[in-house]
Structures are given as C-alpha cells and as structure tokens.
C-alpha cells in the first residue's frame, strides 16, 4: 500500500499527515508552518485539514505523556522519526491528558486499526506495522498500570519538558502549577471591539441577536462562549472586531498615544496592536517588521479595519530603515521565548531550549536600547513581552531602566496566564518608560 491509496477522509490519512507535521516540529519547525508544509506537499483538500490540525495539536499538548508511555511500551526508541510521531499521535487520541473530562474523539480500537493502516501506507514505516499494533494494543490492555507508572514523571503529568517545569518552579514557587495548567488549557476566542465603528454594548447586542453567547472581560474585550471561524463572527469582515487576547489589548491604551503623534510599532506583525493603536487615536504610525513576508498580513488587517499606517521592513536592532525623525511613542513588542502563550501554541514548549531565554533576552535588550535612541525627550516607550520568565521580563526592564536612566511609569508588570471567568488571558509583561525632557 502507498500513501496515495489512503482515503482522504479516513482517520489513517489524518494520522499520517499529523505525524508528518509532528516530526517536523521535533526537528525544529513551528507547528503552523509544519502543517502548512505537509498540507501543501500532499495537496490535501480543505475538507481534510481540520482533522489533521486537530490531531497534531492534540499530540503537541500531550507529547510529554506520550513519550513517557512510549519509553515504557517499547524496548527502544521508535525509529524513524515519523514512526515515533505516529505513535505519539495515536496515543494522544486514546490517552489524552484530559481524558477524565473529555470524551475520546474516536473509538480506541479504530485508532489502533487506522494507525496500523497509516504505518502500512508509508515506505519508512511499513516494516513496523506489527510493532505499531503491538504497542497500542498493549497500552489498551495495561492502561491503568502504565498510566500510573508514567505519571511518576513530571513531564508526563504536566506535558512540558523537564527544564521548563523546573524553571516555572524556580520563578514562581507558589503559582507554578497554575501557570503550567493554564498553558495546557484550551485558549478562548477573545475579540477586540473597534471603538471607531461601534461600542462594546452594541456589539454584545449584535452577538445576542445572532444567538451567540459572549462575556465582556475587558474595556474592549469580548470572549465568545464557543470559538468559531472568523468568517462566521458577526461584523468581523466589516472591521467591527478583531481577534486579540485580553492581555494583549492592554498595550495600546498603556502607550497613551494622542492625536497627531508620531508612533512606532516595532516588531509589528501580524498587526493586532497596530490596529488597536490606530483605533484609539489619529496618529502617524510606522509599523516595522524584520520579515517583509509578514507585512501583507498587517496590511490586510488594516484594510479590514479601514485604517492606514506606513509599513516598513527593517530590523529593530538597527537603524538603517529610520528616517531620523524622533517618535513620540514606541511600542516594543520584543522577541522572546513566548512562554506566556503556550496555550495557543503548544509546540513552543518543545521547540524551545533552556539556553534560548538568555539568548533572546540579550537580543531584546539590544533592540530596546536601539529604539530608545529614536524616542524624543519626554516620549514614552512600552516594553512588551509574551514571556513569563523573569530574565526576559522584570530583569530585562530593570536592566534597561538602569542602562538608559529611563523613568519607570505605572504598568501592569508581569501578568501570569489566567483562565478565570472574567480574568482569562495569556501571560504578558508590560513596562512603560518615559524619556527625560531636555
């Protein structure tokens, strides 16, 4: 059997494609890019993509548990990587971390059968179809004992690398469990209401008219009770709302840009904060990003919102792109480990290495120092990072203030990820600085 003989709508096909994406992640590719690559190479039709994506994300959220189980089930590490990933995908479906609260998505024996079929269809795994069958069936027979044994290891309990768990414990001795658990939760669909076109009360009424339940969780933030494609969100295409986490919605108001000001949004893609800044004030805004391929995404968002900005490709660590005119306000959403948004990007925990924190903190510090030189006296710079590691957040802010004699203004500081009824947001850090007037 070859891959081409698998039915597109079969679980075997979805398992195989998801396994290919997971294998790419384990070799260093971000999951969205991995999925896009697999789908493009296989010419997978739109109808089949949802199942592939769902399985791949489930596998990422349960990878720690699956890998520990595999170490108990197999005498040696399954090889090649695609075989290892196929077994992880199958285990994610028959032994999900939250299976006590969630019905299994497929019948367990169906998963086993289809995993064997997927292995049989691939030249690098066909020889191991018997092993796939044996491993998965053994898990079903010895499920309770195997899970009890696996859950002696923290990576199986929390589904994070051991170093990540240790880092959370060290940084937040009292909150580390809540932080890790929040990262394992399903992310909400939170909207930002465009105050230029409507009010939050009017938009909530529009949702109610369309039979959609929602809760206000911030000044302009609305969380939908049930996530759905943006094409089905009332008023989205007309620019009434944008998708943006509640914590990320704090950035634009904190920067306090006023009409007529010259503003820089550094590291701007995909443009969520860019749009919010323009919704709040009539400003001359430059949206900068180092990757020219990401600028069209910003432009698309602005067109939908009926807003305009100057888009530039440039490295925020350098100044070759700058025209020499000082900015009144600068939003510096700097590169980081993204440890505060793992509930939206479960692959991040497996892509990052312990050493990344120090490396990214060094880069971010250089960016902040460079941008500070472009700020006019009396102007404000907002430092934002979606990390929960102090080296990238609080320690970075303290060091920056000391190096540049920057005055620290009121800002939320470290927001840890939260999943409460009215307090539902990612983990972000905010520090606001003002430059001394001449």
CATH number at residue 143: 1.10.940.10
Give the pLDDT confidence score for residue 100 in this predicted structure. 47
Give the pLDDT confidence score for residue 78 in this predicted structure. 87
Q: Among the three residues 119, 134, 159, which one is the final residue of a domain in this structure?
A: 159
302 plus 155 within the same structural domain: no
How far is residue 273's CA from residue 355's CA, in Å, rounded to a whole number? 29
User: Minimal CA–CA distance to 27: which of 90, 91, 85?
Assistant: 85
277 plus 419 within the same structural domain: yes
92 lies in some domain: yes
- Give the CATH number, domain containing residue 401: 3.40.50.150
* β-pairing verdict for 428-434 and 407-415: antiparallel
Give the pLDDT confidence score for residue 285 in this predicted structure. 98
78 lies in some domain: yes
222 lies in some domain: no
Give the pLDDT confidence score for residue 41 in this predicted structure. 93
Q: What is the DSSP code (8-state) at residue 435?
A: P
How far is residue 341's CA from residue 77's CA, in Å, rounded to a whole number? 30
Give the pLDDT confidence score for residue 221 in this predicted structure. 97
147 plus 253 within the same structural domain: no
Provide CB contacts within 8 A for 239, sequence distance 6+: 194, 197, 304, 305, 306
User: Minimal CA–CA distance to 44: which of 7, 81, 19?
Assistant: 7
User: Minimal CA–CA distance to 12: which of 110, 82, 96?
Assistant: 110
Provide CB contacts within 8 A for 381, sequence distance 6+: 329, 330, 331, 332, 368, 371, 372, 375, 406, 432, 433, 434, 435
228 lies in some domain: no
Which helix (H) or strand (E) segment is 167 a member of?
Answer: helix 162-171
348 lies in some domain: yes
Q: What is the DSSP code (8-state) at residue 392?
A: T
Q: Where are the alpha helices (DSSP H) in 250-332?
A: 251-255, 272-280, 295-305
Q: 414: left (phi > 0), else alpha (psi -120 to 50), else beta?
A: beta
284 plus 381 within the same structural domain: yes
364 lies in some domain: yes
Q: 336 an active-site residue?
A: no
User: Minimal CA–CA distance to 105: which of 43, 44, 62?
Assistant: 62
257 plus 377 within the same structural domain: yes
Q: Among the three residues 135, 159, 183, which one is the final residue of a domain in this structure?
A: 159
Give the pLDDT confidence score for residue 438 in this predicted structure. 72
How far is residue 240's CA from residue 223's CA, in Å, rounded to a whole number? 15
How far is residue 275's CA from residue 293's CA, in Å, rounded to a whole number? 18
The two tokens of residue 338 are 């993204």
- The structure tokens 């999925």 sit at 35
Give the pLDDT confidence score for residue 102 in this predicted structure. 58
Provide CB contacts within 8 A for 229, sequence distance 6+: none
208 lies in some domain: no
Q: Among the three residues 132, 159, 186, which one is the final residue of a domain in this structure?
A: 159
All residue ranges of the chain with pLDDT < 50 are 1-2, 100-101
136 plus 282 within the same structural domain: no
**Of 89, 267, 336, 386, catalytic:** 386
168 lies in some domain: no
152 plus 252 within the same structural domain: no
405 plus 301 within the same structural domain: yes
Instruction: Let me know the angle formed at the C-alpha of 25 by 147 and 87, rounded to the nearest 5 degrees.
Output: 35
Give the pLDDT confidence score for residue 2 in this predicted structure. 46
Give the pLDDT confidence score for residue 11 in this predicted structure. 96
Q: How many domains does the chain have?
A: 2
How far is residue 97's CA from residue 101's CA, in Å, rounded to a whole number? 9
β-bridge partners, 415: 428
Domain range holding 269?
248-434
């Amino acid at each position: 059997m070859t891959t081409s003989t698998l039915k597109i709508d079969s679980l075997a096909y979805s398992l195989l494609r998801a396994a290919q994406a997971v294998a790419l992640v384990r070799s260093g590719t971000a999951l969205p890019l991995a999925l896009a690559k697999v789908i493009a190479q296989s010419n997978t039709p739109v109808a089949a993509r949802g199942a592939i994506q769902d399985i791949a994300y489930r596998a990422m959220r349960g990878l720690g548990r699956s890998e520990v189980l595999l170490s108990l089930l197999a005498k040696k590490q399954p090889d090649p990587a695609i075989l290892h990933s196929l077994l992880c995908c199958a285990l994610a479906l028959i032994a999900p971390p939250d299976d006590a609260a969630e019905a299994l998505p497929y019948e367990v024996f169906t998963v086993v059968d289809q995993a064997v079929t997927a292995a049989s269809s691939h030249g690098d795994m066909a020889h191991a179809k018997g092993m796939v069958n044996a491993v998965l069936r053994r898990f079903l027979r010895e499920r309770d004992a195997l899970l009890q044994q696996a859950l002696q290891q923290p990576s199986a309990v929390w589904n994070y690398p051991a170093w990540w768990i240790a880092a959370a414990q060290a940084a937040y001795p009292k909150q580390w469990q809540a932080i890790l658990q929040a990262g394992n939760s399903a992310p909400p669909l939170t909207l930002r209401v465009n105050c230029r076109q409507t009010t939050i009360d009017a938009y909530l009424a529009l949702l109610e008219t369309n039979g959609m339940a929602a809760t206000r969780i911030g000044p302009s933030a609305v969380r939908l009770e049930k996530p759905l494609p943006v094409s089905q969100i009332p008023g989205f295409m007309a620019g009434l709302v944008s998708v943006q986490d509640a914590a990320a919605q704090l950035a634009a108001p904190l920067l306090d840009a006023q009409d007529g000001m010259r503003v820089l949004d550094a590291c701007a893609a995909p443009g969520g904060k860019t749009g919010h800044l323009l919704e709040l004030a009539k400003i001359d805004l430059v949206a900068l990003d180092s990757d020219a391929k990401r600028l069209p995404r910003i432009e698309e968002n602005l067109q939908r919102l009926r807003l305009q900005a100057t888009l530039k490709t440039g490295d925020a660590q350098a100044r070759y792109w700058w025209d020499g005119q000082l900015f009144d306000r600068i939003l510096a959403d700097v590169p980081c480990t993204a440890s505060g948004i793992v509930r939206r990007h479960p692959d991040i925990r497996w892509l990052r290495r312990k050493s990344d924190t120090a490396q990214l903190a060094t880069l971010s510090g250089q960016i902040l120092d460079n941008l500070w030189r472009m700020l006019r006296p009396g102007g404000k710079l907002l430092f934002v990072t979606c990390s929960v590691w102090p080296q990238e957040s609080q320690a970075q802010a303290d060091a920056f203030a000391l190096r540049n004699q920057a005055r620290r203004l009121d800002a939320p500081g470290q927001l840890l990820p939260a999943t409460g009824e009215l307090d539902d947001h990612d983990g972000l850090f905010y520090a606001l600085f003002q430059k001394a007037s001449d």
